Structure 1
């Protein structure tokens, strides 16, 4: 039987997206056979000691294997890279995050691979059934929030994990309890509390707090509605009784495409009669009195907020013979 049809080698390549380490290759082939494949360009060098057993484009799955195999035994996909393998959507970047134990110091990882070291990695945080191996969703979510470029993005990642039903609150809290020095630990804990209750961003949490402090009715968050064209939209906050929609603008609204998409959605809501108030996220946190005043004015038709004097009661006509 030739090496090209060796079942164990073929199974390995199928399992690892066509990627293998030198040590894996030498279990099935001689060093000379490996060099011959590289020399004839049937295989290609992916990184030092890591090969791709074809000469075509290297896809995302193969890049994940290259990242893990090039940084040594025990390396795990972590953060967003691990979440991607369980179906996480919306935050994936070209960067691949891997997690190694603190005593390891991998040198020269491939371009686009970021190595994170940790002193806390119990067996319960390792997803043994995943290929490539990675961390469990709860640990992955905490790490992704730790490694995020901003607090706002960290909160959004936590919220998305709950929105996409990839984690349970108790599992994430268990991970946090083991990591007392985790970056953004307080923010992650708060985000877990709010997100597990349906809040999808820090700005939404701030808005809900503002409503509670001001004694205003609590809106529906991420309320599903169909616009005039039948498209399904999710409203940031919706006061159903007054048909008032509150749009909370984050930093992305400086982008023209996002801005127009939001304006179009707002116009579609106005057409059938809903009213829309728009507030920037920073104003909800730093100008709460102004936001509250505008909300009170918009919500006045709600009975318990109606401060107009009662209408006079009409008196019954008196007969001329009375008094």
Structure 2
């Protein structure tokens, strides 16, 4: 409907797609946001166009990306405006990201927020052999599908591997004393060592108390529980490894 008020975000998407021509579609973070991705946004509208398509004059704030590979499986044709499917959207967002860290965070968020799962990204990557950051995206997708659903959890997993420690299970489900399902960030099953990675959300009193109750339940059952703030994984990784190694050794890990 026509109006003379300010242009909203969804309307700007329409303007960008219509201005670029019939071959254009929303891509990257713009498409991922349309699929429901939260906490990650871009001030620009990202469009994906076939490599040989000539773009028309575009409004400010529109970024055009080109591709030589756009299989039908990667395009949502019934949605309006047209956009890439979730897995392709996340892969494009990751390869267009400013840094590797941002790329990893976007992929992890896609799994954590249930936009994708299993081998969804691997199937798309198999169709796109020349993706920028392809190895990083594939490894991040593998770890995220295995249960590492945040950048801090991915950092912890990398730390464990570099230190030569046994690999934990991720997002293991346990039930607390009330029967509610709880998810453990990392759990070394054989030695009953549980690691919790605390992000900024753990500063909220209600979240902190929920974490304490879960931790108390685990201690009552006999598990060893270690907690590390996310910043410690990057700033004092040797301390994290030392404490984790000591806990595993005390629990019977032969080293």
The reply on whether 1:161 has 2:103 as its aligned counterpart is: no
Q: Is the 8 A contact 1:245 1:277 kept in 2?
A: yes
The match for 1:81 among 18, 27, 30 is: 30
Q: Deviation per CA, 1:145-197: give whole Å up to 9, x if none.
A: 11122211211211222223323444422321232221111111111111111
Task: State the alpha-carbon separation in 2 of the partners of residues 266 and 288 from structure 1.
Answer: 23
Gapped regions of structure 1 (runs ≥ 5): 1-17, 19-52, 227-231, 250-257, 308-323
- The residue matched to 1:121 in structure 2 has which SS? coil
Residues 270, 54 of structure 1: alpha-carbon distance in 2 compared, 3 angstrom cutoff:
closer
Residues 124, 218 of structure 1: alpha-carbon distance in 2 compared, 3 angstrom cutoff:
closer
Q: Deviation per CA, 1:65-114: give whole Å up to 9, x if none.
A: 11101112211011121122222222133321111111134254222221
Task: State the alpha-carbon separation in 2 of the partners of residues 114 and 72 from structure 1.
Answer: 14
Q: Compute the RMSD of aligned alpha carbons.
A: 3.6
What pairs up with 1:283-322 in 2 under 5 angstroms?
Answer: 283=233, 290-299=239-248, 301-302=250-251, 304-305=252-253
Query: Which residue in 1 is equivalent to 2:149?
Result: 200
With normalisation by structure 1, the TM-score equals: 0.61
The match for 1:63 among 2, 5, 12 is: 12
Query: Which residue in 2 is equivalent to 1:185?
Result: 134
Query: Which residue in 2 is equivalent to 1:246?
Result: 196
Q: Is the 8 A contact 2:155 2:233 kept in 1?
A: no
- The residue matched to 2:203 in structure 1 has which SS? helix
Query: Which residue in 2 is equivalent to 1:277?
Result: 227
- The residue matched to 2:111 in structure 1 has which SS? helix
Highest RCO, 1 vs 2 (Cα 8 Å, sep ≥ 6) = 2
Larger radius of gyration: 1
With normalisation by structure 2, the TM-score equals: 0.75
Q: When the two structures are aligned, how many residues end up with a matched partner?
A: 241
Gapped regions of structure 2 (runs ≥ 5): 220-224
Q: Deviation per CA, 1:16-41: give whole Å up to 9, x if none.
A: xx3xxxxxxxxxxxxxxxxxxxxxxx
Query: Which residue in 2 is equivalent to 1:237?
Result: 186
Query: Which residue in 2 is equivalent to 1:126?
Result: 75
- The residue matched to 2:114 in structure 1 has which SS? coil
